[in-house]
Amino acid sequence: MAQEGLSRYSIDADWSELYVGGEWRAGASGETIDVEDPSTRTVVTEVPRGTEADVDAAYEAAEAAQDEWAATPPARREELVRNLLQLMDERSDEIVELLASEAGQMEGIGETSVQLATDQVAEAATYPRRMKGETAASNVPGKENVVEREPQGTVTVISPWNFPLNLSGRAVVPAVAAGNTVVLKPATNTPITGGLLFARLFEEAGFPDGVLNVVTGRGSDVGDAVASHDVSDVVAFTGSTPVGRRVAAAAGENLAEAAMELGGNNAHVVTADADLDQAVDAGVFGSFAHQGQVCISINRHIVHEDVYDEYVERLTERAENLPVGSAHDHVVIGPIIDESQRDQMLEYVEETVEAGATLETGGETAEVEGVDDSLVVKPTVLSDVTNDMSAACFEHFGPIAPVIPFSDVDEAVELANDTEYGLSGSVHAGDVGRGKRIAQRMETGMVHVNDQPINDEAHVPFSGTKASGTGGYNSDDFLDEVTEKKWISLQHEPREFPF
8 Å CB contact between 380 and 362 = yes
Quickly list DSSP for 436-474: HHHHHHS-SS--EETS-S----TTS-B--EETTEES-BS
Amino acid at 402: P
Strand partners, 445: none
Task: From the candidates 36, 107, 295, 360, give the one annotated as an active-site residue.
Answer: 295
- Residue partners of 139: CB distance under 8 A and separation at least 6: none
* Distance between CA atoms of residues 367 and 375, nearest Å: 9
The radius of gyration of the chain from alpha carbons, rounded to an integer in Å, stands at 24
Asked whether 197 and 227 are in contact (CB, 8 A), the reply is no
Nearest residue to 215 (alpha-carbon basis) of 103, 93, 52, 101: 52
Does residue 295 have an active-site annotation?
yes
* Sheet strands (E) in 137-277: 143-151, 154-158, 181-185, 212-214, 234-238, 257-261, 266-270
Half-sphere exposure of 89 (CA within 13 A, CB side): 10
Helices (DSSP H) in 193-240: which residue ranges?
197-205, 219-227
Q: Please work out, in degrees rounded to the nearest 5, the angle formed at the alpha carbon of residue 366 by the alpha carbons of 39 and 332.
A: 65
Find out whether 421 and 468 touch, Cβ atoms under 8 Å. yes
Tell me the longest C-alpha to C-alpha distance in the chain: 87
Rounded to whole angstroms, how far apart are CA atoms 296 and 288? 12
* Structural contact between residues 154 and 212, judged by C-beta atoms closer than 8 angstroms: no
SS3 for 13? coil
Catalytic residue among 36, 97, 261, 395: 261
Number of H helices, E strands in the chain: 15, 22
393 is catalytic: no
Query: What phi and psi, each to the nearest 5 degrees, are found at residue 195?
Result: -150, -75
Catalytic residue annotation:
261, 295
